Amino acid sequence: MISSGVEPNGVTIATAISACSVLKLLNNGMAIHALAVEIGCIDDVLVGNALIDFYSKCEKLEASQLVFDCMPEKDVFTWNSMIGGYIQAGYSGKANELFTRMQNSEIQPDVITWNTMISGYIENGDEDEATDLFHKMEKDGKIKRDTASWNSLIAGYLHIGQKQKALCMFRQMQSSGFSPNAVTILSVLPACANLVALKKVKEIHGIVLRRNLEAAVSIPNSLIDTYAKSGKLVYSKALFDRMKSKDFITWNSMIAAYVLHGCSDEALSLADQMLMLGLKPEQSTFVSIILAHSLNENVEEGKHILTTMIEDDQLTPAIENYAAMVDLYGRAGRLEEAIRFIEAMPVKPDSSVWSRLLTASRVHDCLDLGIHAGERLLGLEPGNALIRHLVLQAYALRGTREDTFRVQRLQNEHQLPKLIGESWIESKNKVHSFVSGDRSKPYSNLLFAWIDQISIEVKQIGRRQGLCIADEEKEEVVGVHSEKLALAFAFVCSQPVVPRSIRIVKNLRMCSDCHRMAKHISLKYGCEIYLSHPKCFHHFKDGHCSCGDYW
């Protein structure tokens, strides 16, 4: 255009700068900025707004602020762009200063401004300010909340790990007369990705069908993932089979779902179908494929997959790919190869790598190697209470008093909270929680009597002897871990009917004794037990577990 002798106007300049924003082309954008000054359209509000957004996305907030300050005229988009820039960079304080200035200016905040501030506050950890702002929106009658206002708070709660609050806000949104849109659904579904929220997932799926939101492929993709994590692999497969239009994420989600449930052959078969259709796998696909080979303990195939990824597909492995390889070596019991693989990695191993080695060391009774992995974990995340819990187990299994005292000292030095086992189970539309060793409930005697009876049966088929109390975070004694109480509750409250499907979520790793008990119960009563915790997903059926006794 310029070489043809046609001088650009403000709209042209703003459009070109916006293109540089998307691609984050700093030098090109700065050159266009200089051109805007040269041709005299720098005072155009469209150009100024585009420049603020451009410099913000290129992480040059000082330049954004300078453009903002020099603009002779501003509109609501000007303020929103500058406030949004600070929010995206994590400077909620600066954003609040501008928000206050805007309220005192001729140009008043619109609903987008308020929504941006709400998102910024909650994503930066200021939950109280976000909720306070949300409730203030309609106070003076000038601003009306829209669906995006609710979405901002729902997504924000999920971002900071407050899943229950996200679900609560979703319910409030519906009761307030707002209809969820695709963004709402995609925000709230991850909050339901656990075993005790299956009913809520079904409700949301119903909303999707009634509002015809399945057309956006991202929603069925999310449902496939959520159903799998809720223990309903059959629902995930039904959705996958029904989808007429599938993208890369669809295939990836279904392959990962099969791996999560221990269905290695199905995962590998689906990966082959994906390749036959000409869909090129990415790093995340290879993670699932390697983990599928890990389930089969097929080390050579896993090694071949990693080589193919690097040499044929020209992909640089992510840390997740390396962690999957450590899982593969570990599950197959080839621990020396696992440690050599870690030492040869071109990237620094993170906690996911060392925790996989720690798991392998525990399963294969290589306690010294487990301590080695545990010490690396503590070095990476000394303040992580869950990691400290896992390492405490490793020290306790080795059995020296010095090892246990060492971790306890670390706990005291970092003032880490004591982790107490807690499990959740849904019954009759209500979620019940159980804390390990808790005898305070009115029906506790019934639960403990049921556990005692089952424990006698489990003893007859063998159990690990001399388990140290510290091994399971001092959760009273071996017979009263929280998942056992939840299991007992499922049977006691359903008498005389035997429950066919039991779903439990636990906050800590499941111990070996509870794992054996769950397998025994699934065989004795012919029921299916789904239990998830931070380290693994377990599906017990006919005396077997989807994890292959490796977690």
Q: Which of 384, 419, 454 is the last residue of a domain?
A: 419
Same-domain pairing of 481 and 453: yes
Last residue of a domain, one of 360, 385, 419: 419
Spatial contact of 311 and 288, defined as CB atoms under 8 Å apart: no
Number of domains in the chain: 3
432 lies in some domain: yes
Q: Is the domain of 333 the same as that of 411?
A: yes
Res 390: pLDDT: 80
The three-state secondary structure class of 501 is strand
Query: Does 287 share its domain with 398?
Result: yes
- Residue 449 sits in the same domain as residue 407: no
User: What average pLDDT does range 136-142 have in this prediction?
Assistant: 83
Same-domain check for residues 517 and 437: yes
Give the domain extent around 249: 187-258
Q: How confident is the model at residue 404 (pLDDT cuts 50, 70, 90)?
A: low
What percent of the chain clears pLDDT 90, i.e. is strictly above it? 77
pLDDT tops 90 at residue 405: no
pLDDT band at 411 (very low <50, low <70, confident <90, very high): low
What mean pLDDT comes out for the span 249-272? 97
Shared domain check, 286 and 227: no
- Look at residue 5 in the predicted model and tell me its pLDDT: 73
Backbone angles phi, psi at 503, to 5 degrees: -125, 125
> Averaged over 142-167, what is the pLDDT?
93
Give the mean pLDDT of the chain: 91
Q: Quick one: the chain helix, strand, coil %, rounded to 5?
A: 65, 5, 30
Tell me the pLDDT tens digit for each residue of 170-212.
Answer: 999 999 999 999 999 999 999 998 878 899 999 999 999 999 9
DSSP string, 410-464: HHHHHTPPPP--EEEEEETTEEEEEETT---STTHHHHHHHHHHHHHHHHHT---
Please identify, among 390, 419, 448, the residue that sits at the C-terminal boundary of a domain: 419
For the segment 116-139, the average pLDDT, to the nearest whole number, is 92
pLDDT in tens, 414-457: 666 677 899 999 988 888 999 998 899 999 999 999 999 999 99
Q: CB-hemisphere CA count at 13 Å for 142?
A: 10
Q: What is the pTM of this model?
A: 0.86
**464 pLDDT above the threshold of 50:** no
Whether residues 360 and 292 share a domain: the answer is: yes
